[in-house]
């Protein structure tokens, strides 16, 4: 169950949206630079954040503008890493932490005696 919970994530939205396009481009870019000197370990965490959490409106506007101007994959990676470091990329609720799955069962619970 824990494995399935980690696999499930957020919805990326429309294929024309900033979140979807940014996620897809960064996944492609990470695959392209994997094993090279340009590899960025912090980029994987940014991609996970984009998948799991909605973008802030200001970040979506910035990304849409840059994607329209055909930003390179490397520049896009630098931009999203900078936005994340400044806590301007995604809306992350602090109370959203992964919980251990619990088994809830009413069997064996004593009933109210009168």
What are the sequence ranges of the domains in the chain?
15-85
pTM passes above 0.85: no
Q: What is the pLDDT of residues 60-86, one digit of tens each?
A: 999 999 999 999 999 999 999 999 999
Q: Give the pLDDT mean for 42-47.
A: 92
Question: Position of tokens 């619990």?
Answer: 102
For 65, counting Cβ atoms within 10 Å of its Cβ (0-12 exposed, 13-18 middle, 19+ buried), the class is exposed
- Which tokens belong to 21? 């396009």
Which residue did the predictor score with more confidence, 96 or 44? 44
Distance CA(30)–CA(75), nearest Å, equals 13
Which residue did the predictor score with more confidence, 86 or 1? 86
**pLDDT for residue 33:** 87
């Amino acid at each position: 169950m824990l494995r399935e919970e980690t696999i499930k994530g957020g919805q990326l939205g429309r294929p024309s949206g900033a979140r979807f396009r940014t996620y897809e481009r960064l996944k492609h870019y990470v695959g392209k630079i994997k094993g090279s000197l340009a590899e960025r370990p912090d980029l994987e965490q940014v991609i996970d954040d984009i998948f799991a959490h909605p973008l802030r409106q200001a970040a979506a506007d910035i990304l849409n503008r840059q994607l329209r101007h055909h930003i390179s994959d490397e520049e896009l990676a630098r931009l999203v890493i900078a936005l994340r470091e400044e806590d301007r990329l995604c809306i992350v609720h602090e109370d959203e932490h992964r919980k251990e799955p619990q088994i809830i069962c009413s069997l064996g619970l004593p009933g109210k005696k009168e």
